[in-house]
Structure 1
């Protein structure tokens, strides 16, 4: 099967400064079997050549000067190299233009959150048109799938939940260098580290975490909170919300450490700094990748029941689920349990790692292929069989 994948455009694939959608594209396409040819359309950047080939993946990089000229250049290339299927990443609005040019090619949309399927990003009318024209939709959680079935009236048989994956290896290898990293951050060997990773935005609930950590610090003088992240991918801008976080943390002094944005390639080491990872989301997370990455590092997770988080974190097994409004009471209680009983903390870390192994990128890739192969024309299946037999 010849698969064309269209990235949203603002960031490159592989990502240079982070960007979760582009990270997903890179990781999942590495796991697509060699019998399939994948062309990834993404933006030009100084880090990569305009075109390159890695095994069965071909990267075509075009200038990004806004979505319309970006998509126009991609369409020009697709006309010369017609794929069997097109996957649009997180931009349902692209479907309207693509189907005008390629009415017979199946076009799928991979939705990573509700944002680009909602107003004001896309009008209700255009989303209805995209739902009608698209061959199908993929979401990264059953929660998000049900959201689009309910709000956009996507037929249940036209939208499929396929969980994201993680490669646990780099998170485990990172253990060998964690002592040095903790020293560089001025952390003592006996400090007990509560760790946060992610964007510094209100929906992620970092303010909830700091307020709850105040109570933790009162009962545990060894507790430290390390917050890694910026206002956006590669951005460390000091906006009003970050100023609010700094004000909340100021009375705690050295007990709270802010670390600026860290590229995704270095994050496995940073997760190992922590003993426990917190994801205090107050908005409805589609998936919450941080939980999965923390579990890949063998860390117990303390999270919330918002959105698709329960599909990843098993309460009282790989972590704890606490509603945001209960964190100021719940977090100190969980912290006390984890540190008063090392066996509980260690066992939960082991279960977290085993749970993470279930979410492989290979499984994600197979999920995508199963969706494509369920609807593509019969002749594509015949072509695939010819490739298998040589």
Structure 2
């Protein structure tokens, strides 16, 4: 089967600046069985050549000067190299143009969150047309699948939940890395500090302000507690916007108990997770999946997260971590922190459970989930092409 995958366009694949959709494309396509040919259409950048071939993957890169010109270049290439199936990543609007040019090729949409299917990004009328024209949809959680069934009236049989994966190897190898002590010192941590760790973009939906407010209470009861916040306002961006200024104002009374670390490329993150003892993801928006939780668990770290979105499909409450509703963080985080440090075996056991849980989410399983969806569509198309046998 020849599979064409169209990345959104603003970032490159593999990602240079840590962008999550592009990271997922790279990881899942590495695991697609070698008998399938995968063509990945993505943005041209200085890091990579115009086109590259890696085993059964071919990267075709075009300049990105807006979605229209970008998609037109891809369509021109697809016309010469007709694939069996097309997967559009996180841009349902692209389906309308693609189906105009390739009405007989099955086109799927992989939705990574609710954002690009919402009225702010695509009109309800256009989204209805996408639902009608697309062969199907993939989501990274059952929560997101149910969201689109309700909000866009996508027939249940036409939308499939396939969880993302994680490769635990680099996170486990990083646990033994000789530079961990040096990195902790570089961040300003002492050997006996107890570190609560956040990784991700600094945006209101991620709830970083809730984390800092709750940490004020933790700090009162545990003078050894420290909070490390790793991330920028966007992928590769460390600009000071109003929200980041708000976070720094909230953290100021805590002095050096809160450390802000700028954006870290994803390749270095396995090492950075090691400087934390517990990882916090205080999301207040409807997180579709929250990959940070999976990476933290792959590092054997207990996770303190929220009950929002699809998070509970990944983190098991009182198993691999704790799930606290956003409104209860100030009240409940100190109690959870006390439990984790007054009974060290709880933290150790949760770390073990976290790793076991992370191992249940492999990129190979994700790839197989995608292939099952594609093979069903291609199989139906081939049956439709078969000539009717004359009888009598």
Which TM-score bucket, shorter chain as reference? over 0.9
> Match for 2:306 among 304, 308, 316?
304
Give yes or no for the alignment of 1:262 onto 2:270: no
1:90: which partner in 2? 90
Give yes or no for the alignment of 1:248 onto 2:266: no
Give yes or no for the alignment of 1:295 onto 2:297: yes
1:217: which partner in 2? 219
SS at match of 1:230: coil
2:65: which partner in 1? 65
2:389: which partner in 1? none
2:335: which partner in 1? 333
1:137: which partner in 2? 137
Residue 176 of structure 1: how far off its partner (Å): 2.0
Q: What is the rounded CA distance, in whole Å, between the counterparts of 1:280 and 1:76 in structure 2?
A: 44
Q: Deviations over 1:205-257 (max 9, x none)?
A: 00000000000001001100000000000000100000000000000000000
Q: Deviations over 1:287-318 (max 9, x none)?
A: 01111110000000000000000000000000
Q: What is the rounded CA distance, in whole Å, between the counterparts of 2:331 and 2:342 in structure 1?
A: 17
> Match for 1:353 among 326, 334, 355?
355
2:169: which partner in 1? 169
Q: How many residues align?
A: 381
1:102: which partner in 2? 102
Please say which of residues 223-232 and 372-381 is displaced more in the overlay: 372-381
1:22: which partner in 2? 22
SS at match of 2:175: helix
| Equivalent residues of 1:5, 1:41 under 8 A apart | yes
1:185: which partner in 2? 187
Gapped regions of structure 2 (runs ≥ 5): 384-392
Q: What is the rounded CA distance, in whole Å, between the counterparts of 1:225 and 1:26 in structure 2?
A: 31
1:208: which partner in 2? 210
2:159: which partner in 1? 159
The verdict on how the C-alpha distance between 1:181 and 1:115 changes in structure 2, with shifts beyond 3 A counting, is: same
Gapped regions of structure 1 (runs ≥ 5): 382-390
SS at match of 1:258: strand
Residue 175 of structure 1: how far off its partner (Å): 1.1
Would you identify which runs of 4 or more consecutive aligned residues in structure 1 move more than 2 Å?
377-381
SS at match of 1:88: strand
Q: What is the rounded CA distance, in whole Å, between the counterparts of 1:266 and 1:281 in structure 2?
A: 23
Residue 376 of structure 1: how far off its partner (Å): 1.2
Q: Deviations over 1:100-121 (max 9, x none)?
A: 0000000000000000001111
RMSD (CA atoms): 0.9
SS at match of 1:144: helix
> Match for 2:197 among 181, 195, 198?
195
Residue 180 of structure 1: how far off its partner (Å): 2.1
SS at match of 1:273: coil
Q: What is the rounded CA distance, in whole Å, between the counterparts of 2:182 and 2:172 in structure 1?
A: 16
SS at match of 1:176: coil
| Equivalent residues of 1:84, 1:380 under 8 A apart | no
| Equivalent residues of 1:318, 1:355 under 8 A apart | yes
Q: What is the rounded CA distance, in whole Å, between the counterparts of 2:78 and 2:254 in structure 1?
A: 56
Residue 380 of structure 1: how far off its partner (Å): 6.2
> Match for 2:285 among 283, 286, 290?
283
SS at match of 1:184: helix
What TM-score do you get using the length of structure 1 for normalisation? 0.97
Residue 377 of structure 1: how far off its partner (Å): 3.2
Residue 378 of structure 1: how far off its partner (Å): 5.6
| Equivalent residues of 1:227, 1:258 under 8 A apart | yes
Q: What is the rounded CA distance, in whole Å, between the counterparts of 1:338 and 1:234 in structure 2?
A: 33
